[in-house]
């Protein structure tokens, strides 16, 4: 059990974007468990934590600004491709295949298959890979999807290029999607379930 607690503690800090001095980490753990006087006073520890937080925030801001610029450059190039349409909001789409079914309203529920990637091709989510279509209300997804779905018909398959401000913006919903990411989805509208 004791070893397991140690593993658990190490795993909880290992995922942090901080470089650790393992010897100092173990020393702090041993001193606390042995109820020894800390080797570093509380004020110095608070300053160290504040300094690391400030450094992390600065790195995140720089990465976020860089992602925004890379995304804008990508959107500008993508807009030039044959078959890519850009809506007033900045959403880009390309019709891969056309259907002839119903078009959903914002209040309808849809069943879709999708494959989501970052602009570098990294897959962050895919109902196709799970082999399990997703069902959700049109107005309960990112605004780029809400807009696109209301332009599509059942049977349509489109490639959406969603600007960051129509996706998650500066908020990262998960480690798989960095802040200010342009997202690319292949979306197939399988079924529209009209609101009754």
Q: Which one of 31, 108, 119, 142 is the catalytic residue? A: 142
Q: Which one of 93, 156, 168, 177 is the catalytic residue? A: 168
Q: Which one of 74, 177, 184, 185 is the catalytic residue? A: 185
49 catalytic residue (yes or no): no
Question: Cα(71)–Cα(91) distance, rounded to whole angstroms?
Answer: 13
119 catalytic residue (yes or no): no
SS3 at position 137? strand
136 catalytic residue (yes or no): no
What does DSSP assign to residue 140?
G
What does DSSP assign to residue 162?
E
Q: Which one of 31, 119, 124, 165 is the catalytic residue? A: 124
185 catalytic residue (yes or no): yes
Which residues have C-beta within 8 Å of that of residue 56, sequence separation ≥ 6?
A: 17, 18
Burial of 183 (0-12, 13-18, 19+ CB in 10 A): buried
Q: Which one of 114, 156, 177, 184 is the catalytic residue? A: 114
What does DSSP assign to residue 36?
P
Q: Which one of 31, 108, 119, 125 is the catalytic residue? A: 125
Taking CB atoms within 8 Å and a gap of at least 24, the contacts of 168-172 are 168/142, 170/64
168 catalytic residue (yes or no): yes
Q: Is the four-CA dihedral 5, 3, 53, 179 of positive or negative sign?
A: negative
Nearest one of 61, 13, 5 to 33, comparing CA atoms: 5
114 catalytic residue (yes or no): yes
Question: Catalytic positions, please?
Answer: 114, 124-125, 142, 168, 185
């Amino acid at each position: 059990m004791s070893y397991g607690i140690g593993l658990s503690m190490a795993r909880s800090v290992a995922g942090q974007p901080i470089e650790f001095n393992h010897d100092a980490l173990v020393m702090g753990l041993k001193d606390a468990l042995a109820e020894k006087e800390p080797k570093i006073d509380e004020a110095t520890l608070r300053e160290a934590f504040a300094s690391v937080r400030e450094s992390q925030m600065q790195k995140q801001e720089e990465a976020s600004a860089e992602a925004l610029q890379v995304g804008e450059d990508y959107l500008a190039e993508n807009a030039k491709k044959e078959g890519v349409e850009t809506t007033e909001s900045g959403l880009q789409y390309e019709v891969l295949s056309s259907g002839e079914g119903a078009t959903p309203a914002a209040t309808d529920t849809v069943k879709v298959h999708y494959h989501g990637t970052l602009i570098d091709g990294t897959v962050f989510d895919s109902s196709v890979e799970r082999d399990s279509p997703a069902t959700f209300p049109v107005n309960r997804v990112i605004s780029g999807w809400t807009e696109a779905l209301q332009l599509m018909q059942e049977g349509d398959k489109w490639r959406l290029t969603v600007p960051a401000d129509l996706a998650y913006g500066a908020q990262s919903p998960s480690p798989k999607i960095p802040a200010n990411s342009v997202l690319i989805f292949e979306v197939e509208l399988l079924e529209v379930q009209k609101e009754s």
